[in-house]
Structure 1
Amino acid sequence: MTAADPTPTGRSITLEAEGVRAELGTVAAVLRGLTVHGIAVTEPLPADSTPPMAAGIVLAPWPNRVRDAAWTLDGDRQQLDITEVSRSNAIHGLLRNTDYEVRAQSPDAVTLGALIPSQHGWPFLLDTWVRYELRPDGLAVTHGVANHSGRPAPHAVGAHPYFRIGATPVEQLRLTVSASTYYEVDDRMNPLAEHPVEGTAYDLRAGVPLADLALDTPFGGVAPGIAAQLTAPDGARVELLHDADWRYLQVFTAREFPRPAGRGLAVALEPMTAAPDALNSGDGLRWLGSGERWEGGWAVRYVPGPR
């Protein structure tokens, strides 16, 4: 592992072993790039600018949105800071601008940690961490949390990687999502209802060309194993693998994702342990007792096409 001077994404960290390379930054514990035997499987992000469209960052202690940046705890309204101003929501947790500390490191793994102190709308103290570990075919990511509050605390976590398969244009990839439900959302992207995907345009279980999709959609009913995969015309594929606690996935097809060659289509596949607005709905939200810890994770696997 190598580390360099600070940048807008924090201290740069490189993990490399057996042909797999991960580029990381300590701000928001961002995954800036992942290559497997020279094939880029995530959108590469520069170190010298803020990640566009939340690319690669960790989302804690909730992923996605909190409606009106408000929720209720024991009958009392909790008012978070509004961080999605255009929609009057709180988005992607409390750590997206936080510089994590390096707690453990080796050539093929690193653990980054950050405290979430008590603040507006959040009367708790959580210690959080994320471990990135190379595997021969990709990357394993383990998230953890410990509740240091004197009371039970809610928690959910997610991540925001954008995936690709080498130089293959994203429009040529086929997306498969192993989800049994999707969430209908309003014009502020807050959930209204959960519906079965069966018989709808949101049923992606058989695979759909990305060129045909325009999504910023939460999915539920994701079983452990392969939550989603992208497949290239030559049969190569990138798989997003979920542990048992990761039953939700946000799919976002960004049509104006910035790249050095110009803006274009990119796809975020966002593993989540809870649904959008879980602080209000409780859907997938985990409550940790005082002193309680939790860990769970997801992984990325690259599978070459047939030779």
Structure 2
Amino acid sequence: MSDSLITLTEAVSGATAVIALDRGCNCFSLRLPHQEQPTELLWSEPGFPQGAGGAAHSGIPLLFPFPGRLASNRIVWQGEEFSVTTDPGELPIHGFVYDRPWRLLDRTDTTASAEFVLSRDGADGAACWPADFRLVARFALTAASLTIVVEIENVDCRPLPWGLGLHPYFRLAATASPEDAAACRVQLPVAQTWEMEGPFATGEFRELGNALSLHLGMRFSQIDLDLGFTGLQWFDETATCRLLDTTGRQVSIAWGPEFPHLVVYTPPHREAICLEPWTCLPDPLRLHEAGIASGLRLLAPGETIAATVTITQG
């Protein structure tokens, strides 16, 4: 197996996780036991680790230092202009790390960590963002869960503006049946949705009339979304989305208050659903510069902060 593919294995249960370092440190396969048999939780394009499909369209892409799309390929931060991409025909999306090779730091049978430094590993170095950064992703596998901890370090002498998102593609059912996928119930802990102007959030939120239905669970056949939510339900400082299929399998993704937003996306192929914890709105620097609260975070030089997401199956 290629050195760029890292396989974690929990020997007793047979649980496995496979991470493609060369494709953005993307965990594109997660198999956890259900009814004594490991089942795949994640959707990915066939041949993904060999380069098939878009880097943001499979597994668990890591989105940093901004999730979502920017309105321009140039940003202005504190009076200084930065060229985020050199392609004038393509608006930047999902940051700089999801489609670049990462470097392995360490691994055991059930854990691995890898790093990305913008000035060293970014396609355009550190000139595309107001400050350089180091990102470390730590993966820990158990018989019933995968925990991902993302550590953000400001390695520059200037404050680092940042936003983080995870973009997991979940399979809908333990079987490959379209009927079983359609019958899967999706529980979303949300009370508000983002107000949008075209593809961009305004910074305003609207109360949902069907929040209770989303809390209790809606059939996947009733859901067709590419939308951001907030007003999350918290229990012990944890928000949780759940997928419940017809076999009794329950898949959960849980996170803490560092992620106050949730993006839900149903890909056109209808074989998966994306349940995406985000720390901020899309295009957060533009909103921040306009005096609109966006969830943009600032990290002082030398400081480090971490965010955690856990995926379980029961």
> TM-score range with shorter-chain normalisation?
0.7 to 0.9
Displacement of 1:149 in angstroms is 0.9
Name the CA shift for 1:83/1:299 in 2 (closer, same or farther; >3 Å): farther
Q: Is the 8 A contact 1:197 1:203 kept in 2?
A: no
**Residue 273 of structure 1, aligned match among 247, 272, 279:** 279
User: RMSD of aligned C-alpha atoms?
Assistant: 2.3
Tell me whether 1:142 sits opposite 2:149 in the alignment.
Answer: yes
Count of aligned positions: 286
Give the number of the structure whose residues are more often strand, by fraction: 1
Q: How does 1:1-307 map to 2 (within 5 A)?
A: 4-5=1-2, 11-17=4-10, 18-26=13-21, 27-37=23-33, 38-45=38-45, 46=47, 47-52=49-54, 53-55=56-58, 56-81=60-85, 85=89, 88-117=90-119, 118-164=125-171, 165-167=173-175, 169=178, 170-187=181-198, 189-200=199-210, 204-222=214-232, 223=234, 224-256=237-269, 264-282=270-288, 283-303=294-314
Amino acid at match of 2:110: D
Displacement of 1:48 in angstroms is 2.0
Q: Please give the secondary structure, in 1, of the residue aligned with 2:2.
A: strand
Q: Is the 8 A contact 2:77 2:285 kept in 1?
A: no
Displacement of 1:193 in angstroms is 4.6
Q: Is the 8 A contact 1:181 1:220 kept in 2?
A: yes
Question: 2:122 corresponds to which residue?
Answer: none
Q: How far apart are the structure 2 equivalents of 1:84 and 1:299?
A: 37
Give the number of the structure whose residues are more often helix, by fraction: 2
Q: Give unpaired runs (5+ residues) of structure 1.
A: 257-263
What TM-score do you get using the length of structure 1 for normalisation?
Answer: 0.85
Q: Please give the secondary structure, in 2, of the residue aligned with 1:67.
A: coil
Instruction: Give the fraction of aligned pairs with identical amino acids, expressed as a percent.
Output: 21
What TM-score do you get using the length of structure 2 for normalisation?
Answer: 0.83
Amino acid at match of 1:30: N
Q: How far apart are the structure 1 equivalents of 2:206 and 2:159?
A: 33
Instruction: Tell me which stretches of 4 or more aligned residues in structure 1 moved more than 6 Å.
Output: none
Q: Is the 8 A contact 1:22 1:33 kept in 2?
A: yes
Name the CA shift for 1:247/1:83 in 2 (closer, same or farther; >3 Å): farther
Q: Is the 8 A contact 1:68 1:82 kept in 2?
A: no
